[in-house]
Amino acid sequence: MNKVVSGAEAAIHDISDGSVIMLGGFGLCGIPENCINALVKKGVKNLTCISNNAGVDDFGIGLMLQQKQVKKMISSYVGENAEFERQLLSGELEVELIPQGTLATRCLAAGYGMPAIFTPAGAGTEVGTGKEVRNFNGKDYLLEYAFDADFAIVKAWKGDTAGNLVFKETARNFNPLMAMAGKITIAEVEELVPAGALDPDYIHTPGIYVHRIFQGSNYEKRIEQRTVRKR
């Protein structure tokens, strides 16, 4: 089972115009930097991107927005991005905003083979408009469908040649969920180790969910809000 590919370009070679892709990360934390750069270089267009955020102007998914590669964003929070705002207001970019927990759980549903889930988030608000509402135990829930993405692109801390993944701290976020949800899942990792080198009790994403894996390079890991205290 050879899941290891040479790098980001090989990993994304069959992502094409119009593909639906998921991208892991929360803000700029845990985003697949290498694959995003490769997608920018490849120049594929009309992408539908499912990602909690849309990066910043000059980093992350923001780079793809600058190249106008994105037709539609499905996200929960898209602030911090002037180019995004411009494209949204001009109508160039379609945006579907959904609650963060709904985003996460629709990934989980896809990864666990559940066609739809119920969540109270957004019930009674404009997010619920047109959606099926169902009352359980006196509370309204929305029926939300599992995502159906062609590709999931995630970034892990460590991975092995069998595709098993381990994430670090809050860089975990949506990554293991999207890893489960893609028809084809691509993982870039900071450190690629041989199968057997990771402790099988402490793997976050089993390799069965991962189709391609490579060790990324030159991680910038930009910090969005550097907050510190004095010593």
Residues that bind a second copy (CB under 8 A): 105, 112-120, 136-137, 139, 141, 166-169, 172, 200-202
**Is 218 near another protein (CB under 8 A)?**
no
- Distance between CA atoms of residues 55 and 82, nearest Å: 11
Q: Which does 166 bind (CB under 5 to 8 A by kind): another protein, a second copy, none?
A: a second copy
Phi-psi domain of 149 (left: phi exceeds 0; alpha: psi -120 through 50; beta: other): beta
Of 14-22, 35-43, 60-68, 84-92, the window that binds another protein (rule: CB under 8 A) is 84-92
Nearest residue (CB) to a second copy, 114 versus 223: 114
Does residue 73 contact residue 51 with C-beta atoms inside 8 Å? yes
Q: Which of 55, 62, 99, 159 binds another protein (CB under 8 A)?
A: 99
Q: Which does 46 bind (CB under 5 to 8 A by kind): a second copy, another protein, none?
A: none
Does residue 213 contact residue 161 with C-beta atoms inside 8 Å? yes
**Is 104 near another protein (CB under 8 A)?**
yes
Q: Which of 11, 107, 149, 184 binds another protein (CB under 8 A)?
A: 107
Contacts of 88 (CB under 8 A, 6+ apart): 78, 95
**Is 171 near another protein (CB under 8 A)?**
yes
Residue 55: half-sphere exposure toward Cβ, Cα within 13 Å: 25
Identify which of 90, 114, 119, 92 has the alpha carbon closest to the alpha carbon of residue 103: 119
What is the DSSP code string of 86-144?
HHHHHTSSEEEE--HHHHHHHHHHHHTT-SEEEE-TTTTSGGGTTS-EEEETTEEEEEE
Q: Which of 51, 52, 69, 87 binds another protein (CB under 8 A)?
A: 52
Nearest residue (CB) to another protein, 44 versus 182: 182
Minimum CB separation of residue 47 from another protein in Å reads 19
Which helix (H) or strand (E) segment holds residue 5: the answer is none
Q: Which of 55, 60, 62, 176 binds another protein (CB under 8 A)?
A: 176
Minimum CB separation of residue 130 from another protein in Å reads 15
